[in-house]
Structure 1
Amino acid sequence: VSSRQCSGNGMCTLEGYCECYGDFEGRLCDQSPSDELSTATLAAIASVAVVLAAAICIAVYMRRRQRKKRLVVVDKNGWTSCPELTAAKGITFHAFLSHKWPSGQAAAHAIHMKVTKHLLPDSRVFLDVYDLKDIDTLEQHIRESALVVVILTRGYFRSKNCMRELRSAIEEKKPLLLIQELDEDYGGIPLASLVSDCPDDLRSILFTPERVCGLVPWSRKPDFQSVALTAVCQAILAASGNPKYAVPPRVEIPGSLGTRPLSLSGRTTFWCSCHNFGAFALAQQLAGHLHGDVAVSASLDRRTLGPSSDIGASGNGRSPSTTYTAAAGATASTCTAAAGATASHRSDRSLGLSTNPLPEVEAGDDGCPTSAAVGGGAPGEDRRAWAVSLLQRAVRQLLNNSVGTPVMFLRLSKKMFRGEAGERLEADILRAMERGIQFALVFPTTDRFSEIIDETPQELLQRGLYKNIAIDFTPWPPHERITAAQLALTLGAKEDDTRSPWRRSRGASVNPSLCRRRGWRMTSRLTRRNTSTQPHLSTPIITLSPPHSDE
């Protein structure tokens, strides 16, 4: 009997039935378990394959995205190149992070991870949890580091080990970079408290005017944090001993907010109330970082708020001015805010923006002219005649320039609505709300936004004053650029591709994603150099000059 009669998978018995081999079944042994794979099994196999393919694609995408965010060096002509790390003889670490547990732990970990993993992958940064084996070797690790990054938090100057690190860095004349924590929840304290906590023999070394100006604020908001990380990387390159970076190089993170040129469409006018202390000066600073046609004025005129405003007219009936009435029956004085403190900012091809304030008036910090600007004690008739002539000139300038899009600029603070000035400011805000004027809200990082809300009148809260995004700022030039960019985004600014250095098709530009494959690791090897070639640097942003002892 041939087995071919059972499909070759069995043997035909004398009774005429097929006796199947193995797992074959059926009358002719022509069925196997593999032929009966369920639809669910096939779907599961396909799903696993799809998930694996998606995981591979995501991994490749994230890898490319990380490469694009690596630090690049920008020369004076705008060409970019990959950083070239070196180190002097006897130097093991490019930077040493000096911080206090636990207040400075979070900032130290963030700096270590983002610098060594993303921005400068070939750098070696000392962090105690990874590199410290024996507490007695702190001074040795300081000697082996090219730069000492001091993270100033609560209790830093009371820590015995932190003082060992700091004094050793001063004795070895290592470049210092001071970073101040801003968030009180993470150990941040005011600068005045840091100065008072500092030992007397170190205060004159650490808190010189140059170092205070170069103090780097540390924030947990990504845009501001990227600026601080850029300053750290700039300091690492400058202290590496590479003669190319004898002067601190300009470094950027491609695609970060500070490198994206944002342009406002049309003319935008920032109106600042004379009752909002410091608003005019801050608006001028931020407007200087914006591209487009931007004007800053220190009052709200009748054309914007209408005739119902008590910010009334004088002279020819059209001049925007504010009248202050002093207490105890004092005579009224006229604050010619718009006339005296108006600055126009127009875009320029080379500088981006230029400021042209009226030269006749000296404005105070609150945006209103000082007493010297409005006569300085001159007789009443001469003073009024001078003010009227000045108002007429200012009105002609205002009428020649269209207002464009009016935006009321507010510098928020905890005390802004207190006293008579606070009541007048509230009235100005309500009139602006009635006429649908957009608001630009900015508040200092030293004030908690929750405390500002608690001090805000209920009527303004009910009418939605804070439905607009409030932007925080720190009085540090790189942070001012970020604040200005965020402010521009809230006003509907768009990225100007023609100004972006990352969109130019220049043959000499280097794609940051190619730094690794073009030999970044080879050029970043630790080469031997004489320790006497350590740079002596001092820049407006960071201070890297070695501290000088009393000796």
Structure 2
Amino acid sequence: MVPRRQEFGHLAEEIAASDVVLLFLSRGYFASKACAIEYEAAVRLGKPLILVHEGNENKGGLPLEQARRDCPEPLREAVFSGRPIVSWQRSDAFQQIALKRIVAEVLVACGCDLPRSVARRNLHATAPADGGIAAPSAGPAGFEDGLKPETWLSGTAGLFARLSLPTVSAVRGEKVDHGAISLGSDALYLHKEARLVPKLRAGPLTLAFSRHNHGAREIALEIASLVAGCSAAEWPLSDPPAGRVVPLLLLDASTFGGDSGERLAGEVRQWCAQRATTPLLLHAALAEDGGCPFEEVMQRTPTDLVHAKLYSQIALPWFQQPDFRKAALVALSQELDQRKAA
């Protein structure tokens, strides 16, 4: 263990007084003496850990596997094994998801010993249809009979969480199995949180994809199944399109690479030649999503496509992790709606 040094104050004591410890994994985190005092104390005291990963290397981040390797080997399993890791994001919609996941992890970590005040107040509410904040009301019938209620815990900044309690004893402050509590970001919502566009306002639109763009087909079919007025079709189109055509291009570690790279480039050239069909770009940046930094995509992109201003628009972020994927689909639906309405 790293000895506590005077210049670091009482970090170990502060960890001991904490209920949950959040580790923000950025470049150099495990090389920091101050951070070492904190995570070593947290492991030694058995404190619940929440891992938040900064993957953007331009913001001081590093690949997740590098963070694992940087962690001292004797502590690696205790820090990482079986523990969910929250990917930190800076774009508003995706940062909301990251914050919700952090709150969810805190609630799960503390859910084994919920405050008695929650049991006394017996809060219960339902998510309003219009996306506003629900007001707490009387608890559900049968609460005192040992049923499994859903309790809404109010937080700050308009954040609400619905926690499925395994038994009423959990509400009364008794210890329960930590693994019996499950809380994802779907159980949390924010006031004025972005919503999926259910129907395109200005009529039908065809989202075109290339078979040589790995992953684009699945995304196009998924958004078409969620948004009325949107259909998906492989390029080149075999039938007359329904309304305006918007090509979809997924930028990841495989784009414009390998045997299919030139065939994809040929189809993208067709899109660029038809100025009315500006491609909609999605960018997967995380390595665990099969992504890569945008600079790597640029290096593989044929020069003529760069000069044709393929990247004149900002690409929407894309993720495979379910919570972030839902937010990406919301952003995609809004972009399609705006393009059609323009």
Length-normalised TM-score, structure 1: 0.42
Partner letter of residue 196 of structure 2?
Answer: P
What residue number does 2:318 align with?
Answer: 473
CA distance in 1, matches of 2:58, 2:324: 21
Distance 1:416 1:166, change over 3 A: same
2:227·2:333 contact (CA, 8 Å) conserved in 1? no
- Structure whose CA Rg is larger: 1
1:287·1:484 contact (CA, 8 Å) conserved in 2? no
Shift, 1:140, TM fit:
1.9
Length-normalised TM-score, structure 2: 0.65
In structure 1, which of residues 162, 175, 183 is the aligned counterpart of residue 48 of structure 2? 175
CA distance in 1, matches of 2:259, 2:242: 29
> 1:162 and 2:1 equivalent?
no
> 1:437 and 2:277 equivalent?
yes
Spell out the pairing of 1:406-485 with structure 2 (5 A cutoff): 406-413=245-252, 416-418=255-257, 420-435=259-274, 436-446=276-286, 447-485=292-330
What residue number does 1:135 align with?
Answer: 8
What residue number does 1:271 align with?
Answer: 208
Spell out the pairing of 1:220-231 with structure 2 (5 A cutoff): 220-231=90-101
Shift, 1:146, TM fit:
1.4
1:264·1:493 contact (CA, 8 Å) conserved in 2? no
Distance 1:173 1:196, change over 3 A: same
In structure 2, which of residues 227, 235, 238 is the aligned counterpart of residue 302 of structure 1? 238
Distance 1:468 1:136, change over 3 A: closer
CA distance in 1, matches of 2:328, 2:88: 15
Shift, 1:443, TM fit:
1.1
What residue number does 1:120 align with?
Answer: none
SS in 2 for 1:464: coil
1:414·1:455 contact (CA, 8 Å) conserved in 2? no
> How much is the aligned-residue C-alpha RMSD, in angstroms?
3.0
Q: Which has the higher contact order (CA 8 A, sep 6+)?
A: 1
Shift, 1:465, TM fit:
2.2
What residue number does 1:216 align with?
Answer: 86
Shift, 1:189, TM fit:
0.7
CA distance in 1, matches of 2:71, 2:222: 32
Partner letter of residue 439 of structure 1?
Answer: P
Unaligned runs of 5+ in 2: 1-5, 119-150, 152-162, 166-180, 287-291
CA distance in 1, matches of 2:102, 2:306: 41
CA distance in 2, matches of 1:203, 1:297: 46
Share of identical aligned residues, percent?
Answer: 29
Spell out the pairing of 1:141-290 with structure 2 (5 A cutoff): 141-208=14-81, 210-211=82-83, 214-240=84-110, 241-242=114-115, 244=151, 245=163, 246=165, 247=181, 248=183, 250-257=187-194, 260-265=195-200, 266-284=203-221, 290=226
Partner letter of residue 71 of structure 2?
Answer: C
Distance 1:267 1:162, change over 3 A: same
2:196·2:329 contact (CA, 8 Å) conserved in 1? no
1:439·1:468 contact (CA, 8 Å) conserved in 2? no
Unaligned runs of 5+ in 1: 1-132, 305-401, 495-551
Aligned length: 259
